[in-house]
Amino acid sequence: MRTFATAALTLTVLTTLAVAQSSGQWPREFPPRPLEPRPVSFPPFEVKKLANGLTVVLVSQNEQPSVSVRMIVRAGAAHDPKAKMGLAMLTATLLDQGAGARNAEQIADDIDYLGGILSTGAGTDLSYVNTIIMKDDYAAGLAMMADVVRRPTFLPAEIDRQRQQALSGLKVAAEDPESVAGMVIERLIFGFHPYGMPGSGTPESLQSLTRQDFVEFHGRYFVPNNALVAVVGDISPADAMAGLEKYFGDWKQGDVPPFTPIAPPEPTRRVIIIDRPDAVQTEIRVGHLGIPRKHDDFEALDQAVKILGGEGANRLQQVLRSQRQLTYGASADLNSLKFGGAIVAETDTQTASTAEALRVVVDEFSRIQREKVHDAELEAAQDYAVGHFPLTIETPDQLATQVLNQLFYELSVEELPRFRERVLKVTPDDIQRVARWFVRPDQLSVVLVGNAEQFVASLKGAGFGAFERIPIDQLDILSADLKKQ
Amino acid sequence: MRRLKRWGVAAVMAALACGVAVHAASRPPKFMYQRLQLPNGLTVILNQDRSTPIVNVQLWYHVGSKDEKPGRTGFAHFFEHLMFKGSRNVEPEQHTSIVASVGGQANAYTNEDTTVFWQTVPSQFLPLVLWMEGDRMATLRIEQDTFVREREVVKEERRMRIENQPYGRLNEIIYEQAFSTHPYRHPVIGSMEDLNAATLADVRDFYATYYVPSNVTVVISGDFEIDQTINLVNQYLGRVPKALKPVPRDIPREPPQKAEKRVVVEESVPLPAVVVGHHITYDGHPDAYPLHILAKVLSDGQSSRIYRKLVYESGLALTAFGQANLIEHPNLLYTVAIVNPGQSPAAVEKALIAELDRMKAEGVTARELQRSKNQFARDYILGRETVQQKATHLAHAEVLHADIATADGEFDIFQNITQADVQRVAKTYFTPESRVVIHIMPKGPGAGGARPGGQP
């Protein structure tokens, strides 16, 4: 039993097995053996299609008397037209601010009165509308959701109101070191590829958006052949389908224009300091291009990055927090999207240790690329992934999300129950191969958001002599040198 | 840190009342649990749930920042960190990695009233988790160098969570202004000066006083055999020695506030913020339930009265929110609004107070009341999907209400609240004498409430 083997691995932390002496009668002992494992099965689900092309996922689970309906539309911030950054985000925000015969206030009041939840939003590749409703209100919930998805009114007063909110939000985000660091590292890695552009827009782009823009974006992408919906919870598949047919069956198909983003640029290896003189901590981001989600090496590279900075392993956390107390948290993530991806490490540290922490992060990229991982380290990471799997299929929403993700990225849903095999087939040699190929310490971009005056002198000694320093209020994400002109 | 309240509540499945005028809430299923007490004083609650082959184990130590003495703030939270620093049979930092090595998750949190350690693992590793928890309850290693090193991690945590965030000090400011005596006055994370001043003897004393079985409730929720689990609990937690002395509960009370308190503070914030709060009662008091309804209507989310009035209708505020912080001892109901550029904090304060006064004069409408009840029902149902959520509800009822039956009983209490109840608590608590008004103003050159929008 593989999982047991790793539990036994922890025994190596015990040096002796002896009878208790000093601390009362408390024994010195090995951890107990696990019980008989219980079978883990992926609960049954169905994938169907309405005649108009709407893909449907059905999962029946009746522990709680609620039903969750999650819809995703294959268009997100990456689909913002040039100079119209923020369009997908604001379009999604406006969906429930007036739709069908209801105004914004009525929608909010109606869903609360039903004791449901309605949420809308946009990510990089997709937009979503989620509804959770008590099972007796399935029809009422779908009726409201159909209005929101299909018949948003985009009233000028609501556009102005939401635009103002978004502009105010940008002001707050512009002073938030985490969001500034995240925005700049994406811009450095992806350049002017859509994934490098700020999905929440800029003050100028938000000001330029017209009602026509929203109507067109919605009309172009919010069509059934460009959408997927999952119905999960305390409802039979037949009732779930009947509701969808009634409220989405007459939704008209559309011609979705092909999406062909430009290629990301050559790596620039820039070190950008966003100067924030009142900061007590420096936000650190280090990263470069990765791979899209649908890629033969995704599983192996994902495990390599998890060893670098993911759950179940995380060398960055071990060195930065446990060994050196430089941070509260450190991690690395393979963020793989539809049309590309990035490997980004992040941490924060007090100002004085900025250079030291940055050096450690970059060195760990080099180590994972240079040295083969130990069997035990990979096994630990894999045991985490395999053991963790049942924790990721506990709730109906988790199940639905897993199925929707496979469909969205055009991966096989039959793979889902074979999770264990997929993880365990990766070997240390696979990790070394993908780490050598895809991890490139010489191509890293770096963002430091903090009090520059207090750490620039130490950067050179840490091997980062060349950097650009930009006062936080002079940052312009769209200019070549990232500075306001 | 200061967390929003979670409510563990349910009732038996009942016929749904689908009247014409009222849309009544769906009922969640009732909790099934067993409660036992070990000879060493440990309380054990078992909640069997076979839907997924995993198990959540939570240990609630009934000690939080309100148990800390002046000059020793931050100890409860600091101790949460030290509990990962190794015990007789578990090496430092191994607790989390052992749990991770089997695919589980482990973490901990501290608030004003409790320190909670939890893990979710595949079911077969239940013995491992109980063994590790018993080990650190009985034989934690408290050594000078780990103690000194972990203090630096806590300082980073404070910088990250509080000092480096816009409005990160909001809660600290509210509580240091609103409380004069009760330890709710100081933040959970505590003062770095106090942590610097702490000695190893202080830390050992804290452990010996509060980390004892009679101060702990363990809840196990998930897929397990009941008899086997009772044996495991006896084996690994039953052997932890009984405490030598009772757990002290000598927490100073907050004297009643006699007159409105007004303060202006300067902080590095992008826009001014206005806080209007009132002293209220504690979690479990009969008034607490109407206060929850009141706070929901007043200040929870975008359909709340203050959001609609200040953000939506008048444009006075960028955002407006609030909560009734109903915890173990009497606390606060407060509302917060971030002042939009070009608007005045005085106008925002006036608008917030007007909404509180309106609550006294008019209470809530029948529809608002029913909407709140339905929202509560929703939160109960959606808040009990995972084994971790279920365990949390049971532990909350046991530890903070000292009555596990409230985990099921509160559902009906909420559904029976009337409009008169809500108006009565508004009149009881929203008096000018109990009011706290704080203006948080941006500091530094060029800062000010009337700063025009656009680029500097």
Same domain? B286 vs B319: yes
Q: Do A115 and B88 touch (CB under 8 A)?
A: no
Encode B380-415: b = buried (16+ Cβ within 10 Å), e = exposed: bbbbbbbbbbbbbbbbbbbbbbeebebbbbbbeebb
Q: Do B455 and A203 touch (CB under 8 A)?
A: yes
What residues have CB less than 8 Å from A158, skipping those under 6 apart? A94, A97, A98, A104
Same domain? A288 vs A378: yes
Same domain? B160 vs B214: yes
Same domain? B338 vs B228: no
The secondary structure of residue B252, as a DSSP letter, is P
Does residue A257 lie within any of the structural domains? Answer: no
Same domain? A296 vs A215: no
Same domain? B436 vs B290: yes
Q: Do B103 and A167 touch (CB under 8 A)?
A: no
Q: Domain range holding A350?
A: 271-474
Same domain? A402 vs A301: yes
Kindly report, residue by residue over A294-320, the tens digit of the pLDDT: 999 999 999 999 999 997 678 999 899
> In a 3-state reduction of DSSP, which class is residue A235?
coil
Same domain? A111 vs A225: yes
Does residue A344 lie within any of the structural domains? Answer: yes
Residue A50 near residue A246 (C-beta atoms within 8 A): no
d(CA B368, CA B326): 21
Per-residue model confidence as pLDDT tens for chain B (456 residues): 333 222 222 222 222 222 333 566 667 778 899 999 999 999 999 999 998 999 999 999 999 999 999 899 999 999 999 999 999 999 988 898 899 889 999 999 999 999 999 999 999 999 999 999 999 999 999 888 888 888 888 887 777 767 767 788 899 999 999 999 999 999 998 988 898 898 889 989 999 999 999 999 999 999 999 999 999 999 999 999 999 899 999 999 999 999 999 999 999 888 999 999 999 999 999 999 999 999 999 998 878 999 999 998 999 998 999 999 999 999 999 999 999 999 999 999 999 999 999 999 999 999 999 999 998 888 888 888 899 999 999 999 999 999 999 998 888 899 999 999 999 999 999 999 999 999 999 986 544 433 333 333
Min Cα separation B401/chain A (Å):
25
Same domain? B267 vs B394: yes
Q: Which of B32, B55, B156 to mutate to test the interface with A (most CBs of A within 10 A)?
A: B156
Q: How confident is the model at residue B26, as a pLDDT?
A: 67
Of A20, A165, A388, the CB nearest to B103: A388
Q: Which of A6, A394, A451 to mutate to test the interface with B (most CBs of B within 10 A)?
A: A394
Q: Domain range holding B204?
A: 34-236
Q: Which residue has the tokens 């949420």?
A: A119
Question: How many C-beta neighbours within 10 Å does residue A410 have?
Answer: 9
Does B451 touch chain A if contact means CB atoms closer than 8 Å?
A: no
Same domain? A224 vs A77: yes
- Predicted structure pTM score: 0.83
Same domain? B313 vs B417: yes
Same domain? A182 vs A277: no
Same domain? A80 vs A208: yes
What residues have CB less than 8 Å from A385, skipping those under 6 apart? A303, A306, A312, A423, B103
Residue type, A267: P
Same domain? B94 vs B200: yes
- Predicted complex ipTM: 0.80
Q: Which of A11, A16, A38, A319 to mutate to test the interface with B (most CBs of B within 10 A)?
A: A38
Does residue B348 lie within any of the structural domains? Answer: yes
d(CA B303, CA B309): 10
Contact residues, chain B, for A348 at CB < 8 Å: 156, 159-160, 164
In angstroms, the Cα distances linking A466 to A272, A356, A477 are 9, 16, 20
Q: Which helix (H) or strand (E) holds A151?
A: none
Q: How confident is the model at residue B445, as a pLDDT?
A: 53
Does residue B3 lie within any of the structural domains? Answer: no
Kindly report, residue by residue over B152-193, the tens digit of the pLDDT: 888 877 777 677 677 888 999 999 999 999 999 999 989 888
Tokens of A8: 């036994």
Does residue A236 lie within any of the structural domains? Answer: yes
Does residue A52 lie within any of the structural domains? Answer: yes
Q: How confident is the model at residue A126, as a pLDDT?
A: 97
Does residue B451 lie within any of the structural domains? Answer: no
Q: Which residues of chain A have pLDDT under 70?
A: 1-24, 312
Give me the residues paired with residue B82 across strands.
Answer: none
Min Cα separation B104/chain A (Å):
6
Q: Which residue has the tokens 């450095």?
A: A188
Of A32, A168, A203, the CB nearest to B131: A32
Residue where a domain terminates, one of B236, B271, B304: B236
Min Cα separation B386/chain A (Å):
7
Total of domains in chain B:
2
Min Cα separation A6/chain B (Å):
7
Same domain? A288 vs A418: yes
Total of domains in chain A:
2
Tokens of A242: 């009947």
Q: Do B28 and A32 touch (CB under 8 A)?
A: no
CATH of the domain at A54: 3.30.830.10
Same domain? A56 vs A151: yes
Does residue B6 lie within any of the structural domains? Answer: no
Residue B299 near residue B307 (C-beta atoms within 8 A): yes
Same domain? A298 vs A230: no
Among all residues of chain B, which has the CA nearest to that of A322?
Answer: B93
Does residue A258 lie within any of the structural domains? Answer: no
Same domain? B313 vs B406: yes
Same domain? B402 vs B304: yes
Same domain? A330 vs A427: yes
Does B352 touch chain A if contact means CB atoms closer than 8 Å?
A: no
Does residue A31 lie within any of the structural domains? Answer: no
Same domain? A288 vs A235: no
Tokens of B433: 């004498």
CATH of the domain at B218: 3.30.830.10
Min Cα separation B27/chain A (Å):
8
Tokens of B253: 């009370």
Min Cα separation B369/chain A (Å):
9
Residue B95 near residue B84 (C-beta atoms within 8 A): yes
